[in-house]
C-alpha cells in the first residue's frame, strides 16, 4: 500500500537545543512568581517546584498521561501556603518566562526544512511532540517558519497523552485521515518514537540526535524499519524507503 503520510518527532529529530541552561530558566520562573506577588525565597520555591515536578513525572512516564507545567507550578505555590490554581494568569505568565530561553535555543537541524519541503510535496505531514506546554511548540514552528508544512500538529499537553501511548498515535492518524500501514514515523527516541509507532503498526525511521545515539537505540532492543545517520541522509533514503515498502 502506498505511503500517504509521514509523521515527525520535533525536539531532537527536526530541531536541536543550542546553548540552553535550565538553571537560568528556573531563576526567570522564580523572578516572575515574585513579581506576581508570591513573595518566596528562590531556594524554597525551587525545592517545592522540583518536588512537584518529580511527583508528576511518575504519572507522566509510567501512566503516559501528560501533566502541564502549570499544574506543578501551582501545586508548588499551594504547598508553600499561597492560594492559586493552574488557570491563574500569573502562573501562565511565569511559565512563558520560564520557556523564553528554551524557545530561543531551538534550532532546525541541517536539512530540516529540506526534508519537510520535499516530503510535503506528495504526502501529508504530521508532527508529534511530548511537551508540557503546547504554546512553546506552536511558537517554535512559526519562528522556524515550518508550520506551513504540517497538516496536523499534536502536542502531549494538548492531547493529554504522551508517546509511546497508542492513543496519541491513533489521534494523529485520525487527524491525517490515513491508516497505520499508509504512514511512516520519523523520530530519535527508541521508546517514545520507535516503540510507540511500531505498537500501532506504523513503519519507523530512527534518526540519532544529541539526546539519543545509535548506541542507545541498540541498548533499547527496538528495531526500526530504517536507520539513518542524520536528516540530510534521510532526504536521500526516505524516497527509496517509501518506494520499497509500497
pLDDT of 246 above 80? no
Handedness of CA 235, 236, 240, 241 (dihedral sign): negative
Summarised one tens digit per residue, pLDDT across range 151-171 is 999 999 999 999 999 999 999
Q: Are 98 and 6 in contact (CB under 8 A)?
A: no
Contact 125, 175 (CB under 8 A): no
User: pLDDT band for position 22 (50/70/90)?
Assistant: very high
| pLDDT band for position 49 (cuts 50, 70, 90) | very high
Banded pLDDT at 245 (limits 50, 70, 90): confident
* pLDDT digit string, tens, across residues 102-114: 999 999 999 999 9
Q: Confidence class of residue 120 from pLDDT cuts 50, 70 and 90? A: very high
Q: How far is Cα 84 from Cα 46, in angstroms, rounded to an integer?
A: 17
What's the rounded Cα separation, in Å, for the pair 177 and 105?
33
Strands 124-129 and 152-155: parallel
* pLDDT at position 35 over 90: yes
Give me 171's grid cell.
489521534
Task: Let me know how long the chain is.
Answer: 246
Tens of pLDDT, residue by residue over 73-98, are 999 999 999 999 999 999 999 999 99
Q: What is the mean pLDDT of the chain?
A: 96
pLDDT tens, residue by residue, 180-224: 999 999 999 999 999 999 999 999 999 999 999 999 999 999 999
1 band by pLDDT with thresholds 50, 70 and 90:
confident
Per DSSP (E only), the strands in 124-167 are 124-129, 152-155
Are the CB atoms for 188 and 166 separated by under 8 Å? no
Amino acid at each position: 500500500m502506498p505511503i500517504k503520510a509521514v509523521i515527525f518527532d520535533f525536539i531532537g529529530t527536526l530541531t536541536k537545543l543550542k546553548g540552553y541552561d535550565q538553571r537560568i530558566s528556573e531563576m526567570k520562573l522564580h523572578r516572575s512568581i515574585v513579581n506576581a506577588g508570591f513573595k518566596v525565597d528562590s531556594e524554597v520555591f525551587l525545592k517545592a517546584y522540583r518536588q512537584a515536578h518529580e511527583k508528576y513525572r511518575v504519572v507522566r512516564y509510567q501512566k503516559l498521561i501528560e501533566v502541564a507545567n502549570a499544574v506543578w507550578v501551582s501545586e508548588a505555590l499551594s504547598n508553600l501556603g499561597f492560594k492559586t490554581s493552574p488557570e491563574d494568569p500569573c502562573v501562565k505568565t511565569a511559565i512563558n518566562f520560564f520557556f523564553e530561553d528554551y524557545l530561543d535555543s531551538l534550532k532546525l537541524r541541517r536539512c530540516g526544512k529540506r526534508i519537510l519541503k520535499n516530503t510535503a510535496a506528495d504526502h501529508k505531514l504530521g508532527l508529534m511532540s511530548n511537551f508540557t506546554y503546547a504554546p512553546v511548540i506552536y511558537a517554535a514552528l512559526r519562528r522556524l517558519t515550518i508550520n506551513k508544512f504540517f497538516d496536523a500538529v499534536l502536542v502531549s499537553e494538548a492531547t493529554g497523552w504522551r508517546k509511546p501511548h497508542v492513543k496519541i498515535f491513533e489521534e494523529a492518524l485520525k487527524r491525517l485521515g490515513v491508516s497505520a500501514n499508509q504512514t511512516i514515523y520519523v523520530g530519535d527516541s527508541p521508546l517514545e518514537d520507535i516503540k510507540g509507532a511500531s505498537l500501532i503498526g506504523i513503519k519507523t525511521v530512527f534518526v540519532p540526535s544529541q539526546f539519543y545515539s545509535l548506541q542507545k537505540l541498540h541498548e533499547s532492543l527496538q528495531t526500526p524499519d530504517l536507520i539513518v545517520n542524520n536528516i540530510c541522509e534521510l532526504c536521500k533514503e526516505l524516497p527509496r524507503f517509501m518506494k520499497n515498502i509500497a
